[in-house]
Amino acid sequence: MDQVEVIFFSGDSCPKCKAIKDTWEQAVSLNTKLDYRYVNTSVGDLALARQYRIQALPTFLARNVKSEAEIGRLSGEVSKKMLLDFLLKHATSE
């Protein structure tokens, strides 16, 4: 199975992004089955956000690294449990 990357689209002025960032950082440090990327749309990292038509922050997007095809998305008010479940789902789908 191809490698999966999860991208966290965030912004400096996004309170929901700030609220979930610690959970994201903990999950990234504990789970090595996935590739991770943090994209801050406030500092000009917009090409990837445009490519995947990101319209809400925070957005967590899972994609196939090889084909770049989106395989899952989680947006808006994201709880710790929702994020961890999303990451687990994609870590075990390899």
pLDDT tens-digit readout, 20-65: 999 999 989 887 789 999 999 998 778 999 999 999 999 999 999 9
Which pLDDT score is estimated for 60?
98
Q: Which domains does the chain have, with CATH numbers?
A: 4-91 (3.40.30.10)
Helical (H) or strand (E) element with 35: strand 35-40
Question: What is this structure's pTM?
Answer: 0.92
For residue 39, what pLDDT is reported? 95
The model's confidence at residue 94, banded by pLDDT at 50, 70 and 90, is: low
- pLDDT on residue 2: 79
How much is the average pLDDT of 68-92?
Answer: 93
Residue 31's pLDDT is what?
79
